[in-house]
Amino acid sequence: MLPLATFASTRLVHLSAVDGLIVVFYFAFVLAIGFYLKGRARTSEDYFMAGREMTAWVAGLSFLSANLGALELMGWAASSYQYGILAAHWYWIGAIPAMLFLGIVMMPFYYICKTHSVPGYLQLRYGKATRTLSAVSFAFMTVLMSGINMYSMALVMKVVLGWDIHFSIWVSSLTVAVYVGLGGLRSAIFNEVLQFVLIWAGALLIPILGLVEAGGWHGLQTRVAQNAAPAYMHLWSTLGSFKDNPMGIHWTGIVFGLGAIISFGYWTTDFLVVQRVLSAHNLRAAKMAPIIGAGFKMFVPFIVILPGLLGIAVLPFKLTGESVAVATGGHSYNEVLPLMLARYCGPGLLGLGITALIAGFMSGMAGNVSAFTTVWTYDIYASLIHKDCTDKQLVTMGRWCTVLGVLISIGTAYLVMHFLSIMDYVQALFSFFIAPLFATVLLGMLWKRTTSAGGFWGLLAGTASSVGMWAWVKVDPSALRYVALSPYARDMAENMYRALWSCLVCALVTVLVSLLTKPRPLSELTGLVYGASEIPSNGEAAFYQRPIFWAAVVAVVFVILNILFW
Amino acid sequence: MNMEAGETLSIWFFIGISLLVNGILVAGAGIYELISPPQNPVVLFSVHANVWWGALMGILGAIYCYHFKPHRASAK
């Protein structure tokens, strides 16, 4: 996430008439899709699960697109300028293993139990208390995060294009409200796939032209070594010590904190992304969707990380942190992507690049809003407030809830505008739930002995321990040496280790409480737990049609990439 | 790849329209710049990226529009 609080005040690019036309066409087109799909969202299954008729490709691209927000693009381009190729860890080890694990191991359980949401799975496996804890935390955090993203994006539009903040907030959020409110998840998915294509069409030219200017890969390496340091081009070789790399992180934090906990927590239990896969039309498509997503995810660094590195190589001035940029009137790290866009893209291409940023923002927001709507309607409204509501009432509630979710997000955006520190707190709050939830879901899926009490108390203890560690370091910064295992650790390292410990606490408490309480009969666990469920086989499918084959292909490419950039 | 059941237009048809329209606009802007070069050109202006990139998008969009147009997709 970008720390955009004090972005420089001059606009970076000027749009021509054709650029404006491209942006206007984009808004008109997504609205038209929403109106077109309105008639296809009659039942709750249509509205919340897109009729469960998406193919692997559509579900997979939507799964990836919901995560590919504009702030993600700009934020990680900034990080790669600041930290070098180390930022690619968040796309490779921080995503690929988890996405493959979701497709091969976890998806069968999510899919065959026919749940509408991750909290819905928790209800089936652990009971109402765990579902409610998870649903309430997810629903509130999702709309709050959506508001923060909205505010940050409006700020980006102000800096890049000179647009009024209020105009950006209201136009973009109302557009999302209209097309998601009308067409439900199907409309969100259609637009996400469209946005995915636009993001690539708008952003791919930057690395291509950047490499031409830098003199190819070798030229890039030479220039980065001259302008920064040779270590900026190495993925693993500088991670032996906290002090040897600009991120101040150790390989154990990357492997165990990011690779094993944070990424698995996000990609396998965050309903924002899992919902897209649940819309698949059969189990094979549901298993293939995250694998297809992983295949594309491996190449996202080409349009995100590479522009940051190229910025080090070709920009004639140095980018700095926010405070220095404001004091000196220069440019900050966060501006690297728009600066590169303005460097290479003339009329037309500039509009396409800006549309890519807007599309990224709107796909992320639509993801948040549709996930919030589903969790609120199924896991809070129909579960706790109006238990015997009809299918029609669910759809009506979904539509109203979409509007409500957008309005809460707008409210959060204005709140953040006046109290910037809220941004840090809400982001921290979100991280409190993700890592422990992974342990809860995983133990529930893989261990028959896990009990309802074990799941609930484990999740509560894991979340409480995460909050406790965060508060400890806030009150006493020297506590970092205990939480992150080194006084040289920085913010990112602290997040990695806090996630690791909270997940372990959750797992430990879940196991202990489960062993002390009565297990559920095996017959109640059918379709929910490994060993108690019959997973439909692939039948006579050829090897190249099997998800495991493609997961292996993606895994091999993933290993090769890590070795290449070692 | 017609992914959706019933009479819904294929998502790839929508993507085709978007690529085609954007491709025409981008290539058109590039051709205008060829005729009337800007006073402050972008870096690597000489490769005329907007012309060939726009053309590439337009061709891809046209292929998608044709391949996934409603009658052809439903016949398949």
Looking at residue A280, which CATH number applies to its domain?
Answer: 1.20.1730.10
- In a domain, residue A77? The reply is yes
- In a domain, residue A455? The reply is no
**Using CB atoms, which residue from B3, B44, B57 is nearest to A213?**
B44
Closest chain B residue to A37, measured at CA? B8
pLDDT band at B6 (very low <50, low <70, confident <90, very high): low
Inform me whether the C-beta atom of residue A500 falls under 8 Å from chain B C-beta atoms.
Answer: no
**Using CB atoms, which residue from A55, A57, A205 is nearest to B53?**
A205
Count Cα neighbours of A534 within 13 Å in the Cβ-side half-sphere. Answer: 3
For residue B71, the distance in angstroms to the closest alpha carbon of chain A comes to 17
Tell me the chain B residues in contact with residue A190 when contact means C-beta distances shorter than 8 Å. 11, 14
Tell me the chain A residues in contact with residue B26 when contact means C-beta distances shorter than 8 Å. 18, 22, 348-349, 351-352
Both tokens of residue A340?
Answer: 């590169």
Tell me the chain A residues in contact with residue B17 when contact means C-beta distances shorter than 8 Å. 29
**Model pLDDT, residue A356:** 86
Residue A239 has phi, psi (to 5 degrees) of -95, 15
B67 against A360, higher pLDDT: B67
- In a domain, residue A461? The reply is no
What residues contact residue B26 under an 8 Å CB cut-off, 6+ apart? A18, A22, A348, A349, A351, A352, B50, B53, B54, B57
Q: What is d(CA A157, CA A37) in angstroms, rounded to the nearest whole number?
A: 29
Q: What is d(CA A470, CA A451) in angstroms, rounded to the nearest whole number?
A: 29
Residue A337 in contact with residue A73, Cβ under 8 Å?
A: yes
**Using CB atoms, which residue from B1, B9, B43 is nearest to A57?**
B1
- CA distance to A159, A295, B31, per residue, from A305 (Å): 21, 17, 31
**Cα A343 from chain centroid (whole Å):** 28
Along the 566 residues of chain A, how does pLDDT read in single tens digits?
444 444 444 567 788 899 999 999 999 999 999 999 888 888 898 888 888 889 999 999 999 988 887 777 888 898 899 889 999 999 999 999 999 999 999 898 888 888 888 899 999 999 999 999 889 888 888 888 888 888 878 877 887 788 888 888 898 889 999 999 998 998 989 888 998 998 899 889 999 999 999 999 999 999 999 998 888 899 998 888 777 777 777 888 888 888 888 889 889 988 888 888 999 999 999 999 999 999 999 999 999 999 999 999 999 988 888 778 778 888 888 888 888 988 998 899 999 988 888 888 888 888 888 889 999 998 999 988 888 889 999 999 999 999 999 999 899 888 877 776 666 666 666 668 888 999 999 999 999 999 999 999 999 999 999 999 989 988 988 888 888 877 777 766 777 788 889 999 999 999 999 999 999 898 888 888 888 777 777 667 788 889 999 999 999 999 999 999 88
Tell me the chain A residues in contact with residue B6 when contact means C-beta distances shorter than 8 Å. 40
Q: A197–B28: do the CB atoms touch at under 8 Å?
A: no
3-state helix, strand, coil in chain B (%, to 5): 70, 0, 30
Both tokens of residue A308?
Answer: 């940051």
Residue A63 in contact with residue A57, Cβ under 8 Å?
A: no
Q: What is the pLDDT of residues B28-57, one digit of tens each?
A: 999 999 999 988 888 999 999 999 999 999
Please count the other Cβ atoms lying within 10 Å of the Cβ belonging to residue A1: 15
Please give the tally of structural domains in chain A. Answer: 1
Task: Give the DSSP letter of residue A198.
Answer: H
- Domain residues for the domain of A322 are 17-424
**Model pLDDT, residue A310:** 96
Q: B6–A40: do the CB atoms touch at under 8 Å?
A: yes
For residue A417, the distance in angstroms to the closest alpha carbon of chain B comes to 34
Q: What is d(CA A482, CA A501) in angstroms, rounded to the nearest whole number?
A: 11
- CA distance to A96, A98, A190, A290, A544, per residue, from A103 (Å): 11, 9, 21, 5, 16
- In a domain, residue A336? The reply is yes
Q: What is d(CA A67, CA A360) in angstroms, rounded to the nearest whole number?
A: 9
**Using CB atoms, which residue from B5, B18, B38 is nearest to A346?**
B38
**Cα A8 from chain centroid (whole Å):** 27
**Cα A298 from chain centroid (whole Å):** 14
Picking from A473, A411, A462, the residue whose alpha carbon sits closest to that of residue A173 is: A411
**Model pLDDT, residue A4:** 42
- In a domain, residue A321? The reply is yes
**Model pLDDT, residue A427:** 61
- Type of residue found at A115: T
Q: B11–A193: do the CB atoms touch at under 8 Å?
A: yes
- In a domain, residue A166? The reply is yes
Q: B11–A21: do the CB atoms touch at under 8 Å?
A: no
Both tokens of residue B61?
Answer: 């969009």
**Model pLDDT, residue A10:** 58
Picking from A298, A269, A263, A292, the residue whose alpha carbon sits closest to that of residue A107 is: A269
Most B CBs within 10 Å: which of A197, A209, A339, as the mutation test of the B interface? A197
**Model pLDDT, residue B5:** 47
- In a domain, residue A523? The reply is no
- In a domain, residue A63? The reply is yes
What residues contact residue B25 under an 8 Å CB cut-off, 6+ apart? A18, A21, A22, A25, A348, A351, B54
Q: What is d(CA A219, CA B27) in angstroms, rounded to the nearest whole number?
A: 30
Please count the other Cβ atoms lying within 10 Å of the Cβ belonging to residue A152: 26
A446-449: long-range contacts (C-beta < 8 A, 24 or more apart)? A446/A529, A446/A530, A447/A514, A447/A529, A448/A519, A448/A522, A448/A525, A448/A529, A448/A530, A448/A531, A448/A532, A449/A514, A449/A515, A449/A519
Both tokens of residue A249?
Answer: 């992180």
Q: What is the pLDDT of residues A361-412, one digit of tens each?
A: 888 888 888 889 999 998 999 988 888 889 999 999 999 999 999 999 899 8
Could you tell me the pTM of the whole model?
0.88
**Model pLDDT, residue A7:** 43
Picking from A234, A151, A172, A221, the residue whose alpha carbon sits closest to that of residue A415 is: A151
Q: Would you put residue A427 in left (φ > 0), alpha (ψ -120 to 50) or beta?
A: alpha
β-strand partners of A470: none
**Model pLDDT, residue A558:** 96
